[in-house]
Amino acid sequence: MRRSPAFEFDNHPPFFYLETQKGACMSTHKKLIISRQAIASRVKELAAQISRDYARKNPLLIGILKGAFIFLADLTRAMDFPVEVDFVRLRSYGAGTTTSGEVHITKDVETVIEGRHVLVVEDIVDVGLTLNFLLEYLNGFRPASLKVCCLIDKKERRRVEVPLDYVGFTVEKGFLVGYGLDCGENCRTLPDIYEMVESGGGD
């Protein structure tokens, strides 16, 4: 099995990934920016903070599919008490790396929101339109409180100010993959987070 020179990683993950996750974005190089160890320790800290803030509040954690599924799974299992989870699926991106500007719900929340302490769990906030749309939508159901926990706050392209109550990591820019984040459905299940950079573009 030969490693494709068009699909390279800095820390040489198993060949499994190289064989199964190449596709639309295979002509790019990936630079490791957040290791699985750094993710695990930050998730633990966030879970501890959220556990303290939400003790005795019976919170409802709503993950935004698909990107947040791994983060939500790790976050909830690191919390001090069992929590109720639900999911919403929103689409704002096509197969590429730029926003379409429009947000659609393709899978709605199934839990009664009214009177609940809701914590939205998102993978990455970029332009802000996705989260802004969801917060307005959820507010319409009159939750007791509505807060946001995002793994990555990507600041450079923000167009709508959205309140981020718990943030895992802050980055300025770049298109990231791994730990739930995809590029055209590729690389979502990589355990670390990489920035996609142009082939031959260096670090």
Residue 179 binds ligand IMP, judged by CB under 6 A: no
Residue 93 binds ligand IMP, judged by CB under 6 A: yes
Catalytic option among 74, 123, 126, 192? 126
Q: Is 126 a catalytic residue?
A: yes
Residues 116-145 that bind ligand IMP (CB under 6 A): 122-131
Nearer Cβ to ligand IMP, position 142 or 157?
A: 157
Q: Which of 59, 63, 67, 143 lies at the binding interface for Mg ion (CB under 5 A)?
A: 67
Dist. CA 112–CA 58, nearest whole Å = 13
Query: What's the Cα-to-Cα distance from 125 to each of 17, 20, 33, 69, rounded to whole Å?
Result: 26, 27, 17, 15
Which tokens go with 187? 């690389």
What φ, ψ does residue 43 adopt, rounded to 5°? -60, -40
Residue 149 in 3-state DSSP? strand
Q: Which of 30, 31, 120, 123 lies at the binding interface for Mg ion (CB under 5 A)?
A: 123
Scanning 52-60, 78-86, 138-146, 174-182 for contacts with ligand IMP by CB under 6 A, the matching segment is 174-182
Residue 40 in 3-state DSSP? helix
Q: 36-54 and 69-77 helices cross at what angle (nearest 10)?
A: 60
Nearer Cβ to Mg ion, position 123 or 192?
A: 123
Sort strands 145-154 and 117-125 into parallel, antiparallel or unpaired: parallel
Q: Which of 75, 176, 187, 190 lies at the binding interface for ligand IMP (CB under 6 A)?
A: 176
Sites of contact with Mg ion (CB under 5 A): 64, 67, 123
Residues contributing to the site for ligand IMP (CB under 6 A):
64, 67, 92-93, 99, 122-131, 154, 175-176, 181
